[in-house]
Amino acid sequence: MTDTETLLDYPLPRTDPLLPPPAYAELRQGRPRPVRLAGGRRAWLVTRYQDVRSAIADRRVSSDDMAENFPALIPLPPTPRALSMFRLDNPDHATLRRMVIPEFTARATRALQPDVERITHRLLDDLAAGPKPADLVEGFADPLPTLVIARLLGVPYEDHEEFQTNGRVVTSPTATPEEAGAAFAGLTDFMSRLIDRKQADPQDDLISRLVVNHYNKGEISRDDLVAMARFLLFAGHDTTANQISMNILFLLRNPEQLAELRADRSLVPGAVEELMRYSSIKQHDFIRTAAEDMEIGGVAVPKGDGIIFALPAANHDPEVFPEPERLDLRRDAHHHLAFGHGIHKCVGAPLATLELEVSLNAILDRFPDLRLAVDLTDVPFRDDMLLYGTHRLPVTW
């Protein structure tokens, strides 16, 4: 990149809280563009579906956040392997990923379905018995995936406020470096203490199995084990929580689509895929650097340059998804990029999909008259977070 190039400021602003930034539509008409991040760092912004899909699977694109020009969007100081396999390249990424893959296979996920359904119905019982209007985020969308991932990992649910609060600070681009560092240290201490307990008294949970099957055998270091457990805990609840609330909001804003879904529940699996495409809550966190000189979308990207893959832009590319700004629950959207693509495709995708399907079916059953309790303008959106969503979602019935 040269100083003579016109730089856009990133992140780009939204004008409609239910749609990606409108500037993406124009950007998709051209080649990847350089953008300027807060603090002056530069990166390439990639918006077209085919460019994003092919480049994020390219071995020359690196996830290593220790690279000099890595386009980090949160104020954490760079720490080697701090985000576990999420910010590692192969072979290290593959080594760590293989340790947890058995926990997220289709068979393993099916075995969790009774737990997911039990937790879902209990939370909705409590929501229905409580006052109206209710906050769907606080009463359902947040606790459901938190309880599920806590059960899977072996984390006591009574500790959820500690790790959720720290997690929100860590992923907020508006947090100061001191605030983000303190929150990250809190998450690290929390997970380190939990691993000590699992080593002393292993149970039937994922962290215990990592300790017994890999850590005790010297196959994973203490720091890597802490980092992996910390990453799985946060990634396993925050993404799904935001997706659940956005699913309901989008359906309430599209009553004809909602009526179709109520009339034909066989649409639910496809509807979940379309809702993930439509919302694309991972608005800022698919970031990389070029490990070698390469070309993306007809642009020469020199080795070391930062790259931002705009998943919301790619998932709204009309070349792939006709009329992308129209929610269509009958659309075949399974090839969306909400879970990423390539070696870093979300390892927990089967579990997240299960939670989204179960939660959607259960809400449709329990609340046939569900509606927003406030105007859309009064819904507080997470504009300042890596993951898009709502801080609160007041509903009534």
pLDDT in tens, 368-389: 999 999 999 999 999 888 899 9
Q: Tell me the domains of the chain and their CATH numbers.
A: 8-396 (1.10.630.10)
Nearest Cα to 325, choosing from 8, 9, 28? 28
Greater pLDDT, 285 or 308 = 308
- Mean pLDDT computed over 10-36: 95
Per-residue pLDDT tens over the stretch 91-116: 999 999 999 999 999 999 999 999 99
Greater pLDDT, 132 or 175 = 132
Q: Edge-to-edge, what's the strand order for the sheet holding 8-9?
A: 8-9, 33-36, 42-46, 306-309, 287-290, 61-62
Residue type, 142: D
Residue 150 contacts residue 241 (beta carbons within 8 Å): no
Cα angle, residue 108 at apex, residues 104 and 111 outer, rounded to 5°: 140
Rounded to two decimals, the pTM is 0.93
Task: Give the CA distances from residue 55 to residues 157, 267, 283, 326, 343, in Å, rounded to whole numbers and listed in that order.
Answer: 39, 32, 17, 27, 12
- Mean pLDDT computed over 280-302: 95
Q: What is the DSSP string of 215-245?
A: ITTTSS-HHHHHHHHHHHHHHHHHHHHHHHH
Element (H, E) at 61: strand 61-62
- Tell me, what's the pLDDT at 107? 92
- Mean pLDDT computed over 68-87: 85
Task: Give the CA distances from residue 363 to residues 103, 179, 277, 349, 366, in Å, rounded to whole numbers and listed in that order.
Answer: 27, 37, 21, 21, 5
Task: Give the CA distances from residue 251 to residues 140, 272, 352, 379, 384, in Å, rounded to whole numbers and listed in that order.
Answer: 16, 11, 19, 15, 24
The Cα–Cα gap between 342 and 339 comes to 10
Lowest mean pLDDT among 151-155, 163-167, 346-350: 163-167
